[in-house]
């Protein structure tokens, strides 16, 4: 996989991953980006899932210009099936378009390319689609969704 593009002006980048098995990716260890055929380790300072992409902030990459230097480069994540890591969106609060708290994300599912989040709403688990067209706002600890009628 490659670093797809820079994101914002603080050194963030976008990486398009296959989220079918996101718990296998070691977000806490180094990732390797190849420069002139040599792997250079980078540590993730911040990671946020957004749709089928991840927005990453690496240590020591703090500007748009520095982020642009790694755009298009191959990136390799350590895969650790024994690791007890969680997808970065687990635990985020979900609000509807009226800013009413719906619940907290308890799980993430990718079924045939369609992404869903599980939220406990009024004592029951409901699946909500996680699609760019429905995401109104994505904060560090919350998501505001346009929830289609009939799902709650």
More confident position, 1 or 117: 117
Cα distance between residue 122 and residue 119, in whole Å: 10
How confident is the model at residue 21, as a pLDDT? 40
113 φ/ψ sector (left φ>0, alpha ψ -120 to 50, else beta): left
pLDDT tens figures, 3-54: 999 999 999 999 876 544 445 566 667 888 888 777 888 888 888 777 667 8
pLDDT of 93 reads 92
Q: How far apart are CA 75 and CA 39, in angstroms?
A: 9
70-93 pLDDT, tens digit per residue, is 999 988 776 554 444 455 678 889
Q: Rounded distance, CA 55 to CA 50, Å?
A: 7
Give mean pLDDT, residues 122-129: 88
CA atoms within 13 A on the CB side of 5: 3
Sequence-separated (6 or more) residues with CB below 8 Å from residue 25: 17, 77, 78, 79, 85
pTM over 0.75: no
pLDDT confidence band for 108 (50 / 70 / 90): confident
Percent of the chain with pLDDT over 70: 81
């Amino acid at each position: 996989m490659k670093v797809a593009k820079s994101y914002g002006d603080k050194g963030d980048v976008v990486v398009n991953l296959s989220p079918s098995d996101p718990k296998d990716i070691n977000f806490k260890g180094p990732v390797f980006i190849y420069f002139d055929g040599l792997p250079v380790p980078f540590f993730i300072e911040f990671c946020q899932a957004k749709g089928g992409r991840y927005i990453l902030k690496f240590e020591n990459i703090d500007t748009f210009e520095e982020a642009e230097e790694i755009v298009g480069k191959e990136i390799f994540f350590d895969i650790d099936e024994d690791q007890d890591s969680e997808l970065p969106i687990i635990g985020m609060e979900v609000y509807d378009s009226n800013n009413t708290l719906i619940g907290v994300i308890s799980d993430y599912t990718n079924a045939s390319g369609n992404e869903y989040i599980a939220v406990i709403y009024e004592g029951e688990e409901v699946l909500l689609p996680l699609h760019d067209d429905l995401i109104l706002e994505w904060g560090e600890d919350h998501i505001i969704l346009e929830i289609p009628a009939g799902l709650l």
